Amino acid sequence: MGFDAVIKNGNVVLRDGVYNVDIGIKNGKIASIAEEITEQANEVIDAKGQYVMPGMIDTHVHISEPGRTEWEGFETGSKALAAGGTTSYVEMPLNAIPATINKETLDLKLEAAKSQNYVDYAFYGGLVPENIDQLEELVDAGVPAFKCFMSAITAEVPGDFVNVDDYALYKGMQKLAELDQILCIHAENPTITAKLADEMVREGRTTAMDYVDSRPIFTEVEAVQRALLFAKETGCKLHFVHISTSEAIQKIREARRDGVDVTVESCTHYFALTAEDVEEIGPRAKCQPPLRKAKDQARLWDELMAGNIDWLTSDHSPCTEDLKQGNIFDAWGGISGAQNNVDIMFDLAVKKRGLPVQKFVDLIATTPAERFNLPNKGEIAVSKDADIILVDPNSSYTLNREDLYYKNKHSAYEGRNIDCRVTKTIVRGNVVYDLEQGIVGEPIGKLMTVNN
């Protein structure tokens, strides 16, 4: 039998090690993995000197379409993901207007996303105080998980997302446990962080470090502990998004040992940047929870290297450039980062700190695919989707604004030197990005749903 494409000569990252094998692709699937494939192929991809691994599954991306299309779009956002070595993503239920909180608002998003994506995609359902009776219709529509905010969201426009209070969090967990769903949580104490910020602004303390100090570590830990307690009480499965501190991870591990079904992600920016960097970069590096000080970041690195963080995401949370200027307390709290996760983290974790490359693949692909029940994704194995990237570990480049595919070309990583490069991204057998050619072909991304 012939293949549509064969990838030859690469260092292929399989589940149990790195092998010099060929990969045959047919009808969008991985059809063969063998020492040498000699059958006819329409295309031969030479991966000499490069790692061949599953594409990243970025489970934390904000696109903001429809409704806030000027911030980011499916086309530009998915091009950035493709260029960065991400082959599928799960999009957050907030920042777009209206927020995705029922079947009707999910349908608006599905319509907006149609024929615009270069990589595969899925949508979260949101949990807000008013939609507990509508969670089931989102499950029926195939969302892989739900998301809520324990931190404050001030609904600026009608249709925006709303954070849960403790009662809504408890009732929501009860319902999601009954529906056997995972609840993803942004965990920060809203009252303390909001009042500390008010206090700082009132006192005229508005430096980057003041902003970081307005959201101290214990405000993350406190919210994590409260959610874990509710999960123990209700039996709800949890996933903590963008955890920024070793202290919170320790609490999550204790709860897991205690029987709570819980996983945790952290984001590239918590490893690549520190609070001290925010002083230099300014509002482009503002995010929530904030970047932590170098001494705290060192302990987060220890957690990652010890295997205590389940997976990595970007938390790509873009906005227009004007919202990233001026007083940091007023600026939008999100980092544009979808394009630089595989390269930065491979550089920092694998090359600079010696993380085994299979562990790296677990962090970017295999574990999120398993947790979110995406059985065709996350691994180079026969019969899986041919979602494959080539990574050149010996290539270096400086990230420039012109390299960015975002609708608004700003990023906290501008000017950064990265000692590694994604050279090709393949989604279900289709090359969607190539270093020489840029984005290739049509937006072939497909919706991923989960059969609940």
Residues that bind Zn ion (CB under 5 A): 315
Q: Which two tokens stand for residue 250?
A: 């320790």
Compare residues 76 and 288 and give the one whose CB is closer to Zn ion. Answer: 288
Half-sphere exposure of 22 (CA within 13 A, CB side): 19
CB of 241 to Zn ion, least distance (A): 6
Distance CA 8, CA 108 (A): 42
Compare residues 267 and 365 and give the one whose CB is closer to Zn ion. Answer: 267
User: Is cis: bond before 289, omega within 30 of 0?
Assistant: yes
The sign one gets for the Cα dihedral 32, 33, 37, 42 is positive
Compare residues 55 and 334 and give the one whose CB is closer to Zn ion. Answer: 334
CB of 333 to Zn ion, least distance (A): 9
CB of 384 to Zn ion, least distance (A): 28
Q: Closest residue to Zn ion, Cβ-based?
A: 315
Q: Would you tell me how many other CB atoms lie within 10 Å of the CB of residue 91?
A: 27
CB of 283 to Zn ion, least distance (A): 17
CB of 340 to Zn ion, least distance (A): 16
Residue 335 is classified by DSSP as B
What lies within 8 Å, CB to CB, of 38 at 6+ separation is none
Closest of 365, 448, 435, 447 to residue 82, by C-alpha: 435
Find the DSSP H helices in 235-290: 246-257, 268-272, 275-281
Q: What are phi and psi of 259, to 5 degrees?
A: 105, 0
29 forms bridges with which residues in the sheet? 26, 385
CB 337 within 8 A of CB 269: yes
CB of 413 to Zn ion, least distance (A): 17
CB of 80 to Zn ion, least distance (A): 16
Compare residues 30 and 287 and give the one whose CB is closer to Zn ion. Answer: 287
Query: 179 by DSSP, 3-state: which?
Result: coil
Task: State the amino acid at position 44 in one-letter form.
Answer: V
Compare residues 323 and 355 and give the one whose CB is closer to Zn ion. Answer: 323
Distance CA 349, CA 370 (A): 22
Compare residues 131 and 151 and give the one whose CB is closer to Zn ion. Answer: 151
Compare residues 315 and 362 and give the one whose CB is closer to Zn ion. Answer: 315
CB of 137 to Zn ion, least distance (A): 23
Compare residues 8 and 239 and give the one whose CB is closer to Zn ion. Answer: 239
Compare residues 315 and 347 and give the one whose CB is closer to Zn ion. Answer: 315
Q: Which two tokens stand for residue 88?
A: 């599928």
Q: Which two tokens stand for residue 112?
A: 């907006």
Pairing of strands 86-91, 56-61: parallel
What lies within 8 Å, CB to CB, of 154 at 6+ separation is none
CB of 292 to Zn ion, least distance (A): 17
Pairing of strands 237-240, 182-186: parallel
> Which residue bears the tokens 């595969």?
120
Compare residues 120 and 315 and give the one whose CB is closer to Zn ion. Answer: 315
Find the DSSP H helices in 327-436: 342-345, 357-361, 367-371
CB of 58 to Zn ion, least distance (A): 11
